[in-house]
């Protein structure tokens, strides 16, 4: 074995032999043999240890590099991934008006339902006592009524609105989807249900808002204009309105905070929340995952369009 | 014993005896001296404005009062000589009535509240019509609150206050509280039960016990007590249901314009709802509600007033509340079960590494 060929210029063995000779020339032969033996063992073990350590170091460096590369690639992929517009500007605006209204109404309304709760007193103070919070509650009410009217016209006069409204009407498939989904949760069904543009969860949210708005706005108006109300109808209707307003408020708040917030914020897929309400975009990946039927339809439509364009150009 | 010593002893014992009897004798003499003039039944003074001031006081005037063992100059201590040349000053009760006094007066400081009260403030401002201690408690005939005949006892205190507050007294005397209090019913409230004793403030003063937002608290002292109310066949719930009503909640959060108990039931002229003069008699409800809700009509009286939606007596409101209760429970239960199943599925798939 020629060490020079491997690129090493010095010879460790010669160096060690020379030093051993110098150090041990006054010892007996037995002692010299013992010393040589000890040195040999130590050198062997040190060599193995050091070689192992160096090998590990290289390996971890490599791993790190690979991870970084992967991340970069993922980021690039994500940036390049196709997006679909799920909610148009008008729809996003409606949602923003509605949740602003809801927050104002909840923060100024619920303290009246739970006056002894310690947060109630704080909220009341923040919103300017009874008078201030009454005013803000009514501003919230006007926003909610505006949202309701806006949405009504949106569903009639906007193309997207008409399409979405029809898509939101519950169909028997929703019940089947629910069953499939529950079976999927408990592990009896490997596949998730294939949702169209709106899953049964989203449909529930939508119609819950309908029910809530009708009850809350109806009873709220009776209470707001109680003097006019009681000009025409007896007092116990106002009592019913008050009860319904207060109870439905709690139900709506619970549904929003527990159900809606879970589905859009606390759900592990989405935590801490998606910004879809702001930019209205949905990624291709999420589209395939959550709304496969809609994705398939969109792809079909695109193909047909491309074909027709091709035909036209020919 | 030498005569000198004897003489000294006699003189000493005489001084001792004189000291013992002399002291008493002086007080007695003082009282007797006072009654030389004041003991004459026609002893009176005609004031400038023509009013007659009765100055007739006998040795028995203080008997039976809490000051039965006191003499004239114990309170009229500015009388140094008899006959006195000047009119004695008004008696200052705080001369003895303060905490830590050695005279044996009750060890209490509650009287101090008087000085901050509206009555005390007015006196301090120089209003001589405002009452001093003796105007309510009496002068020579002061008796303990619980003793019948006391000017501040349950049955008499309204009349005492009414000496100045005549219109209010007339209202109160015919109210259910006034009638019962005059009968000596200790459960019935008289003026101090709502307005306080020494700490009386104007009702617009936030310190007042009958300030708008304090009224429900005052009324609840009795009307929230089931034990007390059941004695008279009165429902104790309205105190509670008021707190849950919009009026009650708004009042709790400091709204002053919102209705409190007194806004609907009256202040001094509170009468049972069956009484046609009662503000809460169904016939009068439109007018009562109309104080705040202009244009109130008979519709305001249609339906129960103090509603507890959790009780069947609430009628249709009970069923509305029950409907929403079960709607909320079932909906939220279903939604929460769905959420937990979802989470369960996720953890299971996560463990399986999918």
Among chain A, residues having any CB pair with chain B shorter than 8 Å are 111-112, 115, 121, 124, 129-131, 182, 184-187, 226-227, 230-236, 238-240, 242-244, 247-248, 250-251, 254-255, 258-259, 262, 267-268
**CB atoms B339 and A251 under 8 Å:** no
Question: What are the C-alpha distances in Å from A281 to residues A263, A278, A295?
Answer: 17, 8, 14
Average pLDDT over residues A79-87: 79
Confidence of residue A204 (pLDDT cuts 50, 70, 90): very high
Question: What are the C-alpha distances in Å from A72 to residues A69, A75, A222?
Answer: 5, 5, 59
| Helix and strand totals (H; E) in chain B | 16, 2
For residue B351, the chain A residues in CB contact (below 8 A) are none
Tell me, yes or no, if B99 comes closer than 8 A to chain A by beta carbon. no
Q: Among A7-11, A245-249, B45-49, which is the least confidently predicted range?
A: A7-11
As a whole-number percent, the residues of chain A with pLDDT over 70 amount to 97
Confidence of residue A158 (pLDDT cuts 50, 70, 90): very high
Nearest-by-Cβ selection for B303 from A185, A232, A236: A236
As a whole-number percent, the residues of chain B with pLDDT over 70 amount to 91
Nearest residue of chain B to residue A181 (CA atoms): B342
Query: Which residue has tokens 């008006």?
Result: A97
DSSP 8-state code for residue B67: T
For residue A250, the chain B residues in CB contact (below 8 A) are 328
The yes-or-no verdict on residue B27 having pLDDT over 50 is no
pLDDT of the residue at B65: 83
pLDDT of the residue at B4: 66
For residue A124, the chain B residues in CB contact (below 8 A) are 253
Confidence of residue A133 (pLDDT cuts 50, 70, 90): very high
pLDDT of the residue at B13: 65
For B147-196, write each residue's pLDDT tens digit: 878 888 888 888 899 989 999 999 999 999 999 888 878 889 999 999 99
For residue B255, the chain A residues in CB contact (below 8 A) are 129-131
Sign of CA dihedral A289, A294, A300, A303: negative
**CB atoms A239 and B317 under 8 Å:** yes
Tell me, yes or no, if B306 comes closer than 8 A to chain A by beta carbon. no
For residue B304, the chain A residues in CB contact (below 8 A) are 236, 239
Question: What are the C-alpha distances in Å from A296 to residues A85, A175, A203, A281?
Answer: 15, 21, 20, 17
Nearest-by-Cβ selection for B332 from A187, A238, A254: A254
Nearest residue of chain B to residue A182 (CA atoms): B341
- Residue that wins the pLDDT comparison between A150 and A2: A150
pTM of the model: 0.71
For residue B250, the chain A residues in CB contact (below 8 A) are 112, 130
pLDDT of the residue at B22: 45
Tell me, yes or no, if B324 comes closer than 8 A to chain A by beta carbon. yes
For residue B243, the chain A residues in CB contact (below 8 A) are 115
CB-count exposure of residue A112 (10 Å: 0-12, 13-18, 19+): buried
Measured CA to CA, the distance from residue A84 to residue A298 in angstroms comes to 10
pLDDT of the residue at B24: 45
Closest C-alpha to A187, from B36, B47, B136, B345: B345
Tell me, yes or no, if B322 comes closer than 8 A to chain A by beta carbon. no
Mark which residues 279-298 of B lie under 8 Å from A by CB: 293-297
Mark which residues 229-248 of B lie under 8 Å from A by CB: 243, 246
For residue B344, the chain A residues in CB contact (below 8 A) are 185-186
The yes-or-no verdict on residue B23 having pLDDT over 50 is no
DSSP 8-state code for residue B272: -
The yes-or-no verdict on residue B25 having pLDDT over 50 is no
Closest C-alpha to B173, from B276, B262, B271: B271
Confidence of residue B129 (pLDDT cuts 50, 70, 90): confident
Nearest-by-Cβ selection for A243 from B321, B336, B343: B321
Nearest-by-Cβ selection for A236 from B317, B336, B339: B317
pLDDT of the residue at A307: 84
**CB atoms B255 and A131 under 8 Å:** yes
**CB atoms B253 and A124 under 8 Å:** yes
Share in percent of chain A as helix, strand, coil (round to 5): 80, 0, 20
What's the gap in Å between the CA of B327 and the closest CA on chain A? 8
For B42-87, write each residue's pLDDT tens digit: 888 888 888 888 888 887 778 778 888 888 888 888 887 778 888 8
For residue B316, the chain A residues in CB contact (below 8 A) are 236, 240
Nearest residue of chain B to residue A184 (CA atoms): B345
- Residue that wins the pLDDT comparison between B334 and A85: B334
- Residue that wins the pLDDT comparison between B314 and A139: A139
The neighbouring-strand residues paired with B54 are B44
Closest C-alpha to B260, from B268, B249, B270, B269: B249
Measured CA to CA, the distance from residue B97 to residue B114 in angstroms comes to 12
The yes-or-no verdict on residue A96 having pLDDT over 90 is yes
Nearest-by-Cβ selection for A115 from B253, B296, B299: B253
Tell me, yes or no, if B40 comes closer than 8 A to chain A by beta carbon. no
What's the gap in Å between the CA of A236 and the closest CA on chain B? 5
**CB atoms B301 and A258 under 8 Å:** no
Confidence of residue B26 (pLDDT cuts 50, 70, 90): very low
Measured CA to CA, the distance from residue B246 to residue B259 in angstroms comes to 9
Confidence of residue B19 (pLDDT cuts 50, 70, 90): low
**CB atoms A185 and B345 under 8 Å:** yes
For B203-214, the DSSP string reads TTSTTSTTSGGG
Query: Which residue has tokens 């148009």?
Result: A88
pLDDT of the residue at A83: 82
Q: Residue A195 has which token pair?
A: 């949702």
For B255-277, write each residue's pLDDT tens digit: 888 898 999 999 998 999 999 99
Tell me, yes or no, if B29 comes closer than 8 A to chain A by beta carbon. no
Query: Backbone phi, then psi, for A282, in 5-degree steps?
Result: -130, 135
**CB atoms B341 and A187 under 8 Å:** no
With vertex at residue B89, the alpha carbon angle to CA B88 and CA B93, rounded to the nearest 5 degrees, is 120
The yes-or-no verdict on residue B336 having pLDDT over 90 is yes
Nearest-by-Cβ selection for B328 from A182, A226, A251: A251
Confidence of residue A149 (pLDDT cuts 50, 70, 90): very high
Nearest-by-Cβ selection for A251 from B331, B339, B342: B331
For residue B296, the chain A residues in CB contact (below 8 A) are 227, 230
**CB atoms A115 and B309 under 8 Å:** no
* C-alpha torsion angle, residues B349, B350, B353, B354 (rounded to 10): 50
For A222-241, write each residue's pLDDT tens digit: 999 988 998 899 989 999 99
Tell me, yes or no, if B327 comes closer than 8 A to chain A by beta carbon. yes
The yes-or-no verdict on residue B238 having pLDDT over 50 is yes
């Amino acid at each position: 074995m020629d060490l020079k060929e491997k690129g090493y210029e010095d010879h460790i063995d010669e160096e060690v032999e020379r030093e051993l000779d110098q150090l041990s020339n006054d010892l007996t032969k037995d002692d010299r043999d013992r010393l040589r033996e000890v040195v040999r063992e130590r050198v062997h073990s040190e060599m193995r240890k050091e070689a192992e350590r160096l090998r590990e170091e290289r390996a971890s460096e490599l791993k790190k590099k690979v991870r970084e590369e992967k991340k970069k690639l993922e980021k690039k992929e994500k940036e390049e991934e196709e997006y679909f517009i799920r909610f148009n500007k008008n729809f996003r605006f409606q949602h923003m008006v509605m949740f602003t209204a809801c927050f104002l109404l909840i923060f100024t309304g619920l303290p009246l339902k739970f006056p002894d709760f310690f947060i109630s007193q704080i909220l009341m103070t923040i919103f300017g006592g009874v008078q201030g919070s009454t005013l803000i509650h009514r501003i919230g009410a006007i926003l909610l009524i505006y949202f309701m009217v806006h949405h009504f016209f949106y569903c009639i006069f906007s193309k997207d609105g008409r399409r979405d409204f029809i898509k939101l009407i519950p169909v028997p498939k929703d019940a089947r989807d629910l069953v499939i989904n529950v079976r999927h949760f408990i592990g009896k069904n490997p596949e998730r249900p294939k949702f169209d543009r709106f899953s049964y969860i989203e449909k529930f949210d939508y119609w819950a808002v309908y029910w809530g708005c009708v009850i809350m706005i109806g009873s709220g108006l009776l209470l707001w204009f109680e003097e006019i109300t009681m000009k025409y109808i007896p007092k116990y209707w106002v009592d019913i309105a008050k009860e319904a307003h207060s109870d439905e408020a709690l139900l709506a708040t619970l549904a929003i905070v527990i159900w809606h917030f879970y589905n859009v914020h606390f759900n592990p897929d989405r935590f801490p929340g998606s910004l879809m309400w702001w930019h209205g975009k949905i990624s291709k990946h999420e589209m395939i995952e959550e709304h496969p039927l809609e994705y398939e339809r969109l792809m079909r439509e695109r193909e047909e369009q491309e074909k027709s364009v091709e035909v036209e150009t020919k | 014993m030498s005569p000198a010593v004897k003489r000294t002893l006699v003189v000493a014992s005489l001084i001792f005896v004189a000291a013992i009897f002399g002291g008493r004798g002086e007080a007695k003499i003082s009282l007797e001296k006072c009654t030389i003039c004041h003991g004459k039944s026609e002893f009176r003074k005609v004031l400038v404005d023509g009013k007659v001031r009765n100055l007739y006081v006998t040795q028995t005037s203080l008997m039976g009062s809490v000051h039965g063992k006191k003499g004239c100059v114990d309170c009229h201590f500015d009388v140094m000589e008899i006959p006195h040349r000047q009119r004695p000053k008004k008696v200052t009760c705080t001369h003895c009535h303060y905490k830590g006094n050695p005279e044996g007066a009750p060890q209490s400081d509650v009287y101090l509240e008087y000085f901050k009260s509206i009555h005390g403030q007015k006196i301090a401002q120089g209003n001589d019509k405002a009452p001093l201690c003796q105007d309510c408690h009496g002068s020579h005939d002061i008796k303990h609150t619980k003793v019948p005949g006391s000017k501040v006892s349950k049955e008499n205190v309204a009349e005492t206050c009414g000496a100045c507050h005549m219109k209010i007294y007339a209202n109160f005397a015919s109210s259910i509280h006034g009638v019962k209090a005059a009968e000596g019913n200790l459960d019935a409230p008289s003026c101090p039960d709502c307005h306080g004793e020494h700490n009386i403030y104007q009702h617009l003063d936030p310190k007042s016990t009958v300030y708008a937002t304090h009224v429900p608290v005052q009324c609840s002292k009795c009307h929230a007590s089931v034990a007390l109310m059941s004695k008279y066949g009165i429902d104790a719930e309205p105190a509670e249901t008021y707190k849950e009503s919009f009026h009650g909640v708004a009042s709790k959060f400091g709204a002053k314009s919102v209705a409190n108990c007194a806004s609907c039931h009256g202040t001094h002229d509170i009468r049972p709802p069956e009484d046609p003069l009662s503000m809460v008699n169904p016939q009068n409800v439109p007018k009562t509600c109309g104080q705040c809700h202009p244009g109130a009509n008979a519709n305001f009286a249609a339906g129960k007033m103090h509603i507890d939606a959790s009780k069947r007596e609430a009628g249709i409101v009970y069923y509305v509340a029950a409907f929403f209760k079960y709607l909320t429970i079932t909906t939220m239960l279903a939604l929460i079960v769905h959420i937990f199943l979802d989470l369960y599925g996720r953890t299971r798939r996560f463990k399986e590494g999918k």
